[in-house]
Chains A and B, each alone.
Chain A
Amino acid sequence: MATSRRQFIKISALGAGSLALAGTAFELAKGSSILDKISGAKETGPLRTPTYCEICFWQCAGWVYKDADGNIQKIIGNNDDQHCNGRFCPRGTGGIGQYHDEDRLKTPLIRTSEGGKDIFREASWDEALDYIADKMKKIAAEHGPECLALFTHGSGGAHFGHMLKAFGSASIAAPSFAQCRGPREVGFLTTFGDIIYSPERIDIRDTRCMVLIGTHLGENMHNGQVQEMSDAIDKGATIITVDPRFSTAASKSKYWLPIKPATDMALLLSWINVIIENEWYDKDYVERYTYGFAELKEHVKTFTPEWAYGITTIDPNIIRETAREMHNAAPSVIVNPGRHVTWYGDDTQRLRAVAILTALLGSWGRRGGYYKPEKLHLPNYPVPPFPVPKRLPAEAYEGKYNLANEVVANGLCDATIPTVTNECNFKAWIVNGTNLLAAFPNQAKTMEAIKALQLLVVIDTMPIELTGYADVVLPECTYLERYDMIRNSGHRQPNVALRMPAAEPKYNTKPASWIAKELAGKLGLSAWFPWKDMEELLDWQFKQVGTSLEEMKRIGVKNFPREFDDLYFSPGEEVIFNTNTGKIELYSTDMENEGFEPLPLYTAHEEPPEGYYRLNYGRAPMHTFSRTANNPNLTDLMDENVLWVNPKVAKLWGLENDQMVKLKNQDDIISTFAIKVRVTERIRWDSVYMVHGFGHNNKKLTRAHGRGINDTELVTRVHIDPVMGGTGMRGNFVTFITDFDMDGKEAEA
C-alpha cells in the first residue's frame, strides 16, 4: 500500500464536493451560512448533521461529521449554541466512542429459565414488546397502572414518560434530583421562590468573584461553566475555592480554603456573620427585597470566624479576607450553588445558607451574579388529556419531603420494598438511561426493591450492572443514530436545538421514540402517539415557533430574541418573588411551616473512626459517571479510577504508587475489585478520593470490567435530607485491605 491512510483521506476530502453519497437516507446538510459568518471559516466535510450531546446533561449542540466513506468521524460544537459556543468538552468530542463501542447492547433480550438457570435469550422487538405489554397490562389489571414507575435520565425520559402518563402513572423519577441537585433547587426555591435550572443561571462570564464550594469545575466539565470560568479568570475575576481536596479549580484560584470535610455550613454562617457585622451587605437590596434580615442578624451573631475556625480549620483572617473579596465584587459575585450537593443530609440547609449569602451580596438578578434565563414556549403536539393517576408519586413517601419540587427517586425505590404498613406500591419498573446500581447509594436496598418487582425493563445502550437483573433488556441506539425531542433550554436567550440521526442504528437497536410509540401501540395507547414519525412531530413543533425541521437540519440551533429585557433586575425595580411573603426569604416561612429550622444551623457530622478515612468522590473531566467507562475513545485517556491517598497515610500503611488495594467500609462492605493507589498531596490525611463511575462488574464490558472500584458499593450509609429526601452520600468511611488474593479480583463478578 503506497499511500498512507492519512493521505487517502486528504485526497478524498478534496474531491468530496462532487461525491454523491448514494444510499444514505439522510439529507445532506449544505453548510450553514450563519456559521460561516460567525467563525470566519468553516469546518469542511462531506456531510454534517446536527445533534445535541447525550454524554452528559449539559446537552451541547454540535455537528456530526462523516468522512467520505460515510463513517462517523468527529463531533464538533455548534458555534451558535449557548451551551457550548462551538466547543465540546472531551466527553462530547469522544462521544463517537459510544457509537463505535463494539460491546453495545445489540438486540432485545428476554430472561428465561433453562435448566434451572436464568439466562437471556435474544428476541425480536415484536416479541420483547409483546412480553412487556402483556406484563404491564396484567399488573395494571391486578394493582393499577400507578404501580408502574419509570426511572430515567436523559432524553429517553420524554418518550417513556409520555407513554407512562398515557398508561396512567405519574411516577417518573430521575437521579438528577435526590442524588444530585435537589437540595440546591429546594434551598433556592424556599429563599428566592425560583430554582437554578440546568444549565445553571449563573453569570460566570461577567462575574468578578466566584466562590466554589465543593463544585470542582474543570473536573466537573459542564461545558459552558468551564468556558466562562476561564473567561472570568482572563478578565481578572477572583476565584475562591472551598474544597478539602486540592481540586483543579483550587489550583486555579486566588484563594483555596482547604476545609475540613463536612463543615461547610460553619464557614458559610461565619461569612454571613462577617458580612452582616461589617455592614458589607447590599443595604438597599436587602431592604427592598428580603424578608427576615433582623432574625438572620440575630441568628448569626455568635458564628464568628473564630468560631468557624474551630470547626473548619480555616484561618479566621482568611474567612474575613474572602468575605471582603466578595463584598468588593458585589453584586457581580457568585457563591456557586454547585450541582451534586447531596452530601451530608443537611444539604438543603447548606444551600439555604448559600442562597442567603447570595441575597446579602445582592447578586441574584444582577450582572455577574444570577441572571434570569428565558425559555421558549414550545407547544406540545396535541394529544388527548392523560388519565388522572390514582396515586401521585409523592404518596409513595407519604407525609415526607413536602418541599421536594421533583419526584424523589429513592422514595420510589424504597416504596417498592414490601412492608407491613405499605401493602402495595410499585410492581414494575421501567429503567431508561440510568444505571441505578451506580447512581443510587445503598445497593443492598436497591437490590431488595428489584427482587420484589414483577417486571423490570431496562432500556440502555450498554450491558451494565442493572441489565443483569432485568426481565427484558431493550437496546437503544445511541444519540448519534436517532431523533429525540427538541432541546428547549432556558438560557440568556431562548433557543431550540435539533438532534437527528447521523447514521442508521447499528445492530438491532432502536430509538427510545420508536420503542415508546411501538409499546404504546401494543398497550392500546396509540391515541397519545398520533404522529407518523419523529420527523412529523418535530416539524410540527418547530413550525409552531417559526422554524421547521428542514431549517433546523441546516442550522442545528436557533436562538430567539428575549421577550423582555429582564436578564437582570433594573435599578430600583419592584420585584415580587414567588415565596409566601413575596420577598427573598432569608428567614424561610416554608421551612418553618414544614417544621424545619427557618434559618440554617450548623450540625456536626460524624468523623472517621480510627484507621478509617472519609470516602470522597468526584468527576474526571474525560468521563461521565458510569456511562463512559467503556467508551474506547475515553478509556484511551483514562481506563480506571485510582485511589488518592495522602503521603502521610500512605507511609502509615506502607502504600506505594500503583499498589492494588481493596477497600472496606464502616459496614464491613468490601469492594468487589481492587484499585490502584495514587499517593498525592492533593488529598487530606483524613480522606481518600476516587472518581465515580468505575469498577463495572458486567463482563460484557471488555474495557471497563474490573477496572477500578465502584464507589457506590461503599456508600451504604445514607444521610437522608429530611427536607427533600436527598441521599447524602459523603458520610462513609473506608479502610484499606492490602492483603488479598488477586484472583479474587475476578470473583463475584
Chain B
Amino acid sequence: MREEIITSGRMNHLIDPQLHIWHWHIPLYLFLGGLAAGILFFAALYTVLGKEKEYPTAVKIAPFLTPFLLMVGLLALLLDLNHKLYFWRLYTTIRLESPMSWGAWTLMVVTPLSIIWCALNIKTIFPKWDWKYKWLWELDKFFRKNLIIISWIMLIFSLILGVYTGILFSAFNARPLWNTSILGPLFLTSGLSTGAAAIVLMSKNKHERHTFARIDLMLIGIELFLIVHMFMGFLASTQVHIEAASLFLGGPYTTPFWLFVVTLGLATPALLEVLELKGFKMPVFIAPVLVIFGGLMFRFIIAYAGQASRWLY
C-alpha cells in the first residue's frame, strides 16, 4: 500500500485537498468573453464580406449585447481578485507571457470596439437617435468611413479573445487537464458556436436563422471532433494526463461532462438543428438555448476539473 499524507501545514481549504482558487467567476468571465467574441466575430465577418443586409441581426442587433457581456465578465474577474484595490496594476504593464495580462489588454481593446460598433448601429434600434455633440457626429463619420478597417480589427481581436478564453487555461502546465493546446481552438469554436446560437435566438429572419443554424451545426461538429481529439491526446500521454482524462472517463466529472456538455449542449441541439433544417416544426429557441447552456457548463466543468487535476510526485 502506498500512503501519501501531508502530515502538517498547508491545510488551506483553497489549496487542499485540491485547488479551489477559481470559483464561478473565472468560468463565467471566460464564457461571456467567448460569447461576445463569437457575436463580434460574425458581425465583423459579414461586414467585411459586405453582407450586412443579409444578416441584420448578426451585424447590427446581436452586438448590442456584447458591451454588457464583456462588462459583466470583467466584473466577474474583478470579484475574483483577492486584492481588488490593486486591479489597475493589470494595466501598468504588458506581459506577453502571461495570458492573464494579454487577455486583460485584449478586453481593453475589444470592449471599446464593441461600444463603437453599437454606437454605429444605434440608429437601427432607435431611428430617432441624435448625437447631441458635434464632435460625436464627427467621430461617427470618421468610424463609418473606416468601417472596413474597424471590422478587420474587430475580426482579429474577437478571434484573439476567443482563443484567449482557452489559452488562459492551457498555459497552466501545472494542471494536466488544462495543459493541452487544443483548449485554445476548442474554446474558440465553442465561443463562436454560442455566438451563432445567440444570433439564431435573436434573429427574426428565417434565412439568417437557417444560415446560423447551419454554421452552428458545423461548429458543433468541429467541437466534438476536438473533444475526441483532446481525450485521445491525453490518453496517449503521460500518467498524469491519463489521470486527468479519467476525471471525465469514470471519474467525478464524468456525468456532468457527458450529460450536460456533450449530450445536452452539443449532440441534442445538433440533432434538433438537423431536424429543423429538414423542415420539422419545433420551438426555435430550444436548440440555441441548449448550445449556450452547454457552452457555459463546458467552461465551468473544465475550470473545476482542471483544478482537481495535478502532477503526481
Query: Does B9 make an interface contact (CB < 8 A)?
Result: yes
Interface string of A632-674 (1 = CB under 8 A from B): 0000111000000001000000000000000000000000000
Beta-carbon contact of A637 and B3 below 8 Å? no
CB-defined contacts of B3 to chain A, threshold 8 Å? 679-681
Within the complex, what minimum Cβ distance (angstroms) separates A376 from chain B? 38
Beta-carbon contact of B1 and A681 below 8 Å? yes
Q: How far is the CA of A681 from the CA of B2 in the complex (A)?
A: 9
CB-defined contacts of A55 to chain B, threshold 8 Å? none
Q: How far is the CA of A647 from the CA of B7 in the complex (A)?
A: 19
CB-defined contacts of A647 to chain B, threshold 8 Å? 1
CB < 8 Å neighbour of B8 from A638, A679, A681: A638
Q: How far is the CA of A680 from the CA of B7 in the complex (A)?
A: 13
Beta-carbon contact of A637 and B1 below 8 Å? no
CB-defined contacts of B8 to chain A, threshold 8 Å? 622, 637-638
The bracket for how many chain A residues form the interface is under 10
Interface string of B2-16 (1 = CB under 8 A from A): 010001110100000
CB-defined contacts of B7 to chain A, threshold 8 Å? 638
* Contacts from B to A (Cβ < 8 Å): 1, 3, 7-9, 11
Q: How far is the CA of A680 from the CA of B9 in the complex (A)?
A: 20
Which residue of the partner chain A has the closest CB to B83?
A4
Which residue of the partner chain A has the closest CB to B9?
A637
What are the 9 closest A-B residue pairs judged by CB atoms, nearest first?
A637-B8, A681-B1, A647-B1, A680-B3, A638-B8, A637-B9, A622-B8, A681-B3, A636-B11
How many residue pairs link A and B with beta carbons under 8 A? The number is 14
CB-defined contacts of A680 to chain B, threshold 8 Å? 1, 3
Q: How far is the CA of A680 from the CA of B2 in the complex (A)?
A: 9
Could you list some 14 contacts between A and B, CB below 8 A?
Answer: A622-B8, A636-B9, A636-B11, A637-B8, A637-B9, A638-B7, A638-B8, A647-B1, A679-B1, A679-B3, A680-B1, A680-B3, A681-B1, A681-B3
Within the complex, what minimum Cβ distance (angstroms) separates B212 from chain A? 51
CB-defined contacts of A638 to chain B, threshold 8 Å? 7-8
Within the complex, what minimum Cβ distance (angstroms) separates B30 from chain A? 30
CB-defined contacts of B11 to chain A, threshold 8 Å? 636
Which residue of the partner chain B has the closest CB to A638?
B8
Interface string of A613-642 (1 = CB under 8 A from B): 000000000100000000000001110000
Q: 11 extra interchain contacts, Cβ-Cβ under 8 A, other than A638-B7, A681-B1, A681-B3?
A: A622-B8, A636-B9, A636-B11, A637-B8, A637-B9, A638-B8, A647-B1, A679-B1, A679-B3, A680-B1, A680-B3
Q: How far is the CA of A681 from the CA of B5 in the complex (A)?
A: 13
* Contacts from A to B (Cβ < 8 Å): 622, 636-638, 647, 679-681
Q: How far is the CA of A622 from the CA of B7 in the complex (A)?
A: 11
Q: How far is the CA of A732 from the CA of B34 in the complex (A)?
A: 65
Q: How far is the CA of A545 from the CA of B9 in the complex (A)?
A: 45
Q: How far is the CA of A636 from the CA of B9 in the complex (A)?
A: 7
CB-defined contacts of B9 to chain A, threshold 8 Å? 636-637
Q: How far is the CA of A647 from the CA of B1 in the complex (A)?
A: 8
Within the complex, what minimum Cβ distance (angstroms) separates A4 from chain B? 10
Within the complex, what minimum Cβ distance (angstroms) separates A145 from chain B? 48
Q: How far is the CA of A152 from the CA of B65 in the complex (A)?
A: 76
Which residue of the partner chain B has the closest CB to A2?
B85
Within the complex, what minimum Cβ distance (angstroms) separates B34 from chain A? 35
Which residue of the partner chain A has the closest CB to B2?
A681
Within the complex, what minimum Cβ distance (angstroms) separates A651 from chain B? 11
Q: How far is the CA of A647 from the CA of B8 in the complex (A)?
A: 23
Q: How far is the CA of A637 from the CA of B1 in the complex (A)?
A: 25
Within the complex, what minimum Cβ distance (angstroms) separates A527 from chain B? 51
Q: How far is the CA of A680 from the CA of B1 in the complex (A)?
A: 8
Within the complex, what minimum Cβ distance (angstroms) separates B205 from chain A? 55
Q: How far is the CA of A119 from the CA of B9 in the complex (A)?
A: 39
Within the complex, what minimum Cβ distance (angstroms) separates B129 from chain A? 44
Which residue of the partner chain A has the closest CB to B86?
A2
Within the complex, what minimum Cβ distance (angstroms) separates B180 from chain A? 32
Q: How far is the CA of A478 from the CA of B119 in the complex (A)?
A: 71
Q: How far is the CA of A647 from the CA of B2 in the complex (A)?
A: 11
Within the complex, what minimum Cβ distance (angstroms) separates A622 from chain B? 7
Within the complex, what minimum Cβ distance (angstroms) separates A381 from chain B? 44
Q: How far is the CA of A637 from the CA of B11 in the complex (A)?
A: 8
Q: How far is the CA of A638 from the CA of B1 in the complex (A)?
A: 24
Q: How far is the CA of A126 from the CA of B8 in the complex (A)?
A: 44
Within the complex, what minimum Cβ distance (angstroms) separates A419 from chain B? 48
Which residue of the partner chain B has the closest CB to A639?
B11
Within the complex, what minimum Cβ distance (angstroms) separates A681 from chain B? 5
Within the complex, what minimum Cβ distance (angstroms) separates A458 from chain B? 31
Within the complex, what minimum Cβ distance (angstroms) separates A652 from chain B? 15
Within the complex, what minimum Cβ distance (angstroms) separates B258 from chain A? 28
Q: How far is the CA of A681 from the CA of B9 in the complex (A)?
A: 23
Which residue of the partner chain B has the closest CB to A637?
B8
Within the complex, what minimum Cβ distance (angstroms) separates B125 from chain A? 45
Q: How far is the CA of A681 from the CA of B1 in the complex (A)?
A: 7
CB-defined contacts of A679 to chain B, threshold 8 Å? 1, 3
Q: How far is the CA of A679 from the CA of B5 in the complex (A)?
A: 11
Q: How far is the CA of A594 from the CA of B128 in the complex (A)?
A: 116
Which residue of the partner chain B has the closest CB to A681?
B1
Q: How far is the CA of A638 from the CA of B11 in the complex (A)?
A: 10
Q: How far is the CA of A636 from the CA of B8 in the complex (A)?
A: 8
Within the complex, what minimum Cβ distance (angstroms) separates A2 from chain B? 9
Within the complex, what minimum Cβ distance (angstroms) separates B251 from chain A? 19
Within the complex, what minimum Cβ distance (angstroms) separates A633 from chain B? 11
Within the complex, what minimum Cβ distance (angstroms) separates A679 from chain B? 8
CB-defined contacts of B1 to chain A, threshold 8 Å? 647, 679-681
Within the complex, what minimum Cβ distance (angstroms) separates B39 from chain A? 40
Within the complex, what minimum Cβ distance (angstroms) separates A365 from chain B? 39
Within the complex, what minimum Cβ distance (angstroms) separates B13 from chain A? 13
User: Considering residues B3, B9, B11, which has the most beta carbons from chain A within 10 angstroms of its beta carbon?
Assistant: B3
Q: How far is the CA of A679 from the CA of B1 in the complex (A)?
A: 10
Q: How far is the CA of A679 from the CA of B8 in the complex (A)?
A: 18
Q: How far is the CA of A638 from the CA of B8 in the complex (A)?
A: 7
Q: How far is the CA of A123 from the CA of B3 in the complex (A)?
A: 52
Within the complex, what minimum Cβ distance (angstroms) separates B17 from chain A? 11
User: Considering residues B7, B8, B9, which has the most beta carbons from chain A within 10 angstroms of its beta carbon?
Assistant: B8
CB-defined contacts of A636 to chain B, threshold 8 Å? 9, 11
Q: How far is the CA of A636 from the CA of B11 in the complex (A)?
A: 8
Within the complex, what minimum Cβ distance (angstroms) separates A538 from chain B? 37
Q: How far is the CA of A637 from the CA of B7 in the complex (A)?
A: 8
Within the complex, what minimum Cβ distance (angstroms) separates B190 from chain A? 38
CB-defined contacts of A681 to chain B, threshold 8 Å? 1, 3
Within the complex, what minimum Cβ distance (angstroms) separates A682 from chain B? 8
Within the complex, what minimum Cβ distance (angstroms) separates A707 from chain B? 14
Q: How far is the CA of A622 from the CA of B11 in the complex (A)?
A: 15
Within the complex, what minimum Cβ distance (angstroms) separates B71 from chain A? 28
